[in-house]
Amino acid sequence: MYDLIILGGGPAGASASVYAARKQLKTAVITSEFGGQSIVSETIYNWIGTPEISGTDLGQNLKNHILYYKGPFLDIIEGEKAIDIIKNDNKFSIKTESGKTYESKAIIITTGSSRRKLEAINADKFEHKGITYCASCDGPLFADQDVLVIGGGNAGFESAAQLLSYCKSVTMIHRSDKFRADEITVKKILENLKFKVIKNAEITKVDGDQFVKSLTYKDKITGEEKTIPTAGIFVEIGQIPNVLFAKNLVQIDEFNKIVVDPMTQMTTVPGIWAAGDCTNGRYHQNNIASGDAVKALEDAYLWIHKNK
Ligand SMILES: Cc1cc2nc3c(=O)[nH]c(=O)nc-3n(C[C@H](O)[C@H](O)[C@H](O)COP(=O)(O)OP(=O)(O)OC[C@H]3O[C@@H](n4cnc5c(N)ncnc54)[C@H](O)[C@@H]3O)c2cc1C
């Protein structure tokens, strides 16, 4: 039985793992993969201490930092997904997708979030056939073509910035009148002559044959339906927290986020902490995920020793 099991291998999971190993807690980190969401980013400019780093390199650095501590105090279980947590007396049992069970005295959940899918007629049919959720992975396939970006938040503008360097045109489709992205980013992209914006649009349908050919939306002001030809649709409409496996145990809020005490990161169940994008913390960034996970670990460390 472990003292602690950390679920997730993004910035939060990596930080908790490093601190746990250094404090010589008998720990296992279980993650479907290492690196976290921003591995798809071309460049990250705000990982403190590193003015510029690619998402892939950041992900690899996080993984290397965990691997550095692999040994008597840290087991690394990669390619495994938690599907359930059961509490029995003074221990927790974590069930994984492969049918295994791991036991621990305490748990830190850092399973982050996944992309929200586009809901429109035929959207599922054209996934990976013109509809994509990763500009840096799939963008180059659409060089010199007209593409659409759905969503006007930071992720949408970041995708647009990447696509503008090789696509013929990029049109952003946004459901409301105001962007949710940082002003500095919005200003810079709006200056690009290849960039267009359609606001107050509700996407209704995607059409094509083998690949996407067009997208139809309803203008929310006039009610008029319009169809735009396009080769690629890049979807950036937010995230869904990965918390299903913990739903029956810890409190989850109306946005599907794990409720934590912001002082300690403890959930509503003593012995379970959560940090990063899977929590109801107000802001979500790499540095925040990492810092909150350290906070969780410090509190878990004291709790584990007190309950020995
Ligand atoms: C495109 C994009 C660009 C971004 N750019 C920036 C940026 O420039 N700067 C910045 O600060 N932030 C950025 N962010 C936000 C940042 O990536 C997140 O805030 C951060 O990754 C959250 O870290 P996390 O560890 O909480 O979760 P995640 O990074 O989501 O990591 C979750 C981990 O848990 C694993 N996992 C998921 N479910 C399970 C399960 N059931 N069992 C086991 N393991 C599981 C996943 O494989 C993953 O390793 C960006 C996000 C996106 C999507």
Centre of ligand 1 from the C-alpha of residue 56, in Å: 12
Q: Is 285 in the pocket of ligand 1 (CB under 6 A)?
A: yes
Q: Is 30 in the pocket of ligand 1 (CB under 6 A)?
A: yes
- Tell me which of 64 and 41 has the higher pLDDT: 64
Centre of ligand 1 from the C-alpha of residue 98, in Å: 23
Shortest-distance atom of ligand 1 to CA 40: 1
CB atoms within 10 A of CB 167: 25
Pocket test for ligand 1, best of 5, 15, 38 (most atoms within 8 A of CB): 38
Closest C-alpha among 107, 103, 75, 105 to residue 246: 107
Q: With bands split at pLDDT 50, 70 and 90, how would you rate the model's confidence at 38?
A: confident
pLDDT tens-digit readout, 208-228: 999 999 999 999 999 999 999
pLDDT tens-digit readout, 156-175: 999 999 999 999 999 999 99
Q: What pTM does this model have?
A: 0.85
* Residue 80 φ/ψ region, left for φ over 0, alpha for ψ in the -120 to 50 degree band, beta for the rest: beta
pLDDT tens-digit readout, 112-160: 999 999 999 999 999 989 999 888 778 989 999 999 999 999 889 999 9
Residue 198 tokens read as 């359609």
pLDDT of 70 > 80? The answer is yes
CB atoms within 10 A of CB 119: 10
Mean pLDDT of 220-244: 96
- DSSP letter, residue 220: T
- DSSP letter, residue 40: G
Closest C-alpha among 283, 276, 281 to residue 14: 276
The values of phi and psi at residue 161, to 5°, are -60, -40
Q: What share of the chain is helix, strand, coil (3-state, %, to 5)?
A: 25, 35, 40
Length of the chain in residues, anyone? 308
Q: Say how far apart CA 11 and CA 8 lie, in whole Å.
A: 9
Q: Is 31 in the pocket of ligand 1 (CB under 6 A)?
A: yes
Q: Is 9 in the pocket of ligand 1 (CB under 6 A)?
A: yes
Tell me if 133 sits within 8 A of 235, measured CB to CB.
yes
Q: Is 15 in the pocket of ligand 1 (CB under 6 A)?
A: no
Q: Is 33 in the pocket of ligand 1 (CB under 6 A)?
A: yes
Which residues on neighbouring strands pair with residue 274, listed in sequence order?
109
pLDDT for position 18: 98
Pocket test for ligand 1, best of 6, 19, 37, 108 (most atoms within 8 A of CB): 37
